[in-house]
Amino acid sequence: MRTLIAANWKMFKTRAEAQQTARELIALMQDDWPAERDVVLFAPFTALAATAEAVAGSPVAVGAQDVYPAAEGAFTGEISPGMILDCGASWVIAGHSERRHILGESASFVGKKTAFALEAGLSVMLCIGETLEEREADKLEAVLRAQLEQAVRGLSADACLKGLAVAYEPVWAIGTGKVASEADILEAHAMVRNILGVILGSTAGSLPILYGGSVKPENASSILALDNVNGLLVGGASLRAESFSKIIRA
């Protein structure tokens, strides 16, 4: 399976800053992109078109960080899959923990977004993960199962194979500098693969599962070497082209 290295720029970067970072990244890679690795930049809505313009002609893809599950309509403040595609982006994040916990998004709404975006032709990075409280209460598996069931049950194998990736991001490891231990990552990724297998059957073996949470150039290669880790979703360390380029090469 190919390895996917993704940058989530969150609510950082104006159009000019996004373009500059994307151009710097391409210059730093010097046309020497590692084989078997794909790269996606998840930019803010306002910088999607500018980022897509900056990476045109390179192997880098662009994605949005959220989407509304309707083609158009009276949904003030929301963005449709068609609008994202129109900016030159081909990916979208669904269910990032900051949206689940800060914006109050439910697992069933995340499921609607996932299904609608896939149907509309976007690839979807479905984010799941437990809080520290849930982990300490021994609810890791129950939380991952509930989040995955609500998002993935009902999707066709075809739709999943065309465009679904899952990112395991323990909430307590995001932006905290506390990377999960190798044992934690191995355990959670094996659980995710198993749960996907129960829901989707053999398709599950072909879906990329990414790890996210305090990934840095220093820890990227050891995390990528773990079983069932097929990529990385990087927040803080993706904001500067130099550090993100080291993670792409890790």
Out of 96, 98, 105, 189, which one is annotated catalytic?
A: 96
- Neighbouring residues of 55: CB distance < 8 A, sequence distance ≥ 6: 22, 26, 41, 61, 62
Report if residue 66 touches ligand 13P, rule: CB under 6 A.
no
Going residue by residue from 133 to 172, which x/- string records binding to ligand 13P, judged by CB under 6 A? ------------------------------------x---
Report if residue 8 touches ligand 13P, rule: CB under 6 A.
yes
- Neighbouring residues of 192: CB distance < 8 A, sequence distance ≥ 6: 128, 144, 148, 166, 168, 209, 228
Report if residue 236 touches ligand 13P, rule: CB under 6 A.
yes
Out of 98, 105, 130, 169, which one is annotated catalytic?
A: 169
Residue nearest to ligand 13P (CB): 235
CA-angle at 143, arms to 138 and 145, nearest 5°: 120
Q: What is the 3-state secondary structure (H, E, C) of 69-102?
A: CCCCCCCCCCCCHHHHHHCCCCEEEECCHHHHHC
Q: Which of residues 83-122 bind ligand 13P (CB under 6 A)?
A: 96
Out of 44, 111, 213, 231, the residue judged to bind ligand 13P by CB under 6 A: 213
Whether 189 sits among the annotated catalytic residues: the reply is: no
Report if residue 234 touches ligand 13P, rule: CB under 6 A.
yes
Helix H or strand E encompassing 160? helix 157-163
- Neighbouring residues of 205: CB distance < 8 A, sequence distance ≥ 6: 193, 197
Whether 36 sits among the annotated catalytic residues: the reply is: no
Q: Which is nearer to ligand 13P, 5 or 160 (CB)?
A: 5
Residues that bind ligand 13P (CB under 6 A): 8, 96, 169, 174-175, 212-215, 233-237
